[in-house]
A and B are shown apart, each in its own frame.
Chain A
Amino acid sequence: MIKTEGLTKVFDTYTALDNVSCTIPNGCICGIVGSNGAGKSTLLRLITGIYKPDKGSVSIDDLVPFDNPDIKCNIAYVPDDLYFTPGATIKKMSTLYKSVYKNFDDARCKELVEAFKLDMNRPITTFSKGMKRQAATLLALSTKAEYLLFDETFDGFDPIVRNYVKSIICEDVMERKSTAIITSHSLRELEDICDKLALLHKGGLILQNDVENLKTSHFKAQLAFTFDYDESLFGDLEYKRFTKCGSVCSMIIKGNEEETKNFFNKLNPVICDILPLTLEEIFAYEMETLEYSFDISLTGMED
């Protein structure tokens, strides 16, 4: 389990991460979304043990990862800005990985190389951006690490490779009960793969929740009544973005769908439609709840 408490990282005068506390249980795929400069990469580097926190703590299975090989051998990290040793080929890199990762699986590496149709002996510098990312991903997956950290990994992949990479990450998590953390600035990129989602904004963790939970607990309702009404009709219901046009109103609701339906039915609406929300809409809702500007958050989020 990855646990952060009050995690803070400051670069000179810039606070990249501010008092972030979260818990990521084992055996799940956790997506971290946020705009550029939100602190996603910093969070991953702190979890990987590359950075030392200025305040707070980060622990993996109750061990501090900074300069701790015992826990770091269970972490494979694919950074946004890739690095390969000078003159490296996949073969040479796998030798380097083998020298430090006890569980590095050669067979798995070869299998993935074939799957990605890469050349093991070709210098990585001659690879395209996507191929480099594939190489880094397959090397990380071959370490058989319990914790797989991917920073903006899907950038540069074509849709086929993207889906393939998603599938092998899912397989890995399913088969080995490993934990994957994937950062992205695109919600759509993550919604079909993640079990949990966290949102970082300007160095702070705004929310984190199970995707399933988010999806089932947030929905949109469209209602029409024969009588004149206002928001007070809905009493204690937890909702946002209430709009009313004539006799028809719509709102985004957080809560139990069945209970809400029963509540509405008691009000005898002429129309009562319950519609599912996209994750983006849910996040927008949550951000508004937390009094963050919905517009600002979205402008930062590139699709």
Chain B
Amino acid sequence: MMKRIIQLISTVLFNGYLVGFAKGSIYMGGLKVTCVPVLNCYSCPGALGSCPIGSLQGVLKSKNSNFSFYVLGSIMLFGIVLGRVICGFLCPFGFLQDLLYKIPLKKHNEFKFDKQLRYLKYVVLVVLVILGPMFITNQFGEGDPLFCKWLCPAGTLEAGIPLAIANDGIRGALGFMFSYKVAILIVILLLSIKIYRPFCKFLCPLGGIYGLFNRFSFYQMSVDHNTCINCNRCIEACKMNVDVINNINSAECIRCGDCVKVCPVDAIDSGFVKEFNKIKNEG
């Protein structure tokens, strides 16, 4: 319950400019100078901060620069402090996928090529987020944000649809690309009913980056192997299919805490490293 409350607060907090939804416009104030830690489209009428992936693509290749220290540093800072707890507790699109997975239909969380498909998010990161904007530019020398343009379902849901509803000008300009992006969004949302967080598992470049920091972040999960009775309940409870006992800080762990809840002997702990003195396994 606490997790849901945090997810709800975070969704409202990152999209708190409610006037924008009514007016069909976006917030244009100074808060957007900062990147938020989550995949939250800055063209969402309510968005108060900048999406780190959108910003990375926008700034990585522009007429003034070929690199973005500021955005990369911000992403790294979020990653090293929190790791993928951001995915588990703060991401609005992750929250939506969590809610859809609650729909009581048969689940398909384990399937062939699941492990291989996890690497797809890194392909998305390298090809669509980094290389695409660096090498494909418009007449003004600005990089083409391929991820936002061809894949990001959060942009369609948080920005495209609300703006299309409330803004006549934008509604009039919609065409094939919008239909294509809505189709992508619908496929991901439908998959979310059957598979736990498919976008986070297979496609999210930001989750991919944060995953790389999981092992080093200040927020850690730990298993006390002296207390653990190897009942495997944690592994069965993990919807991200992490080997909790042997690799709890895996890049795939979103620190949702499901394993902590089911452990019958309280052998699993989570928190900032200074907080627990009994980290037996950081790896």
Q: Do A and B come from one complex?
A: no
Residues of A near any B CB (own CB < 8 A): none
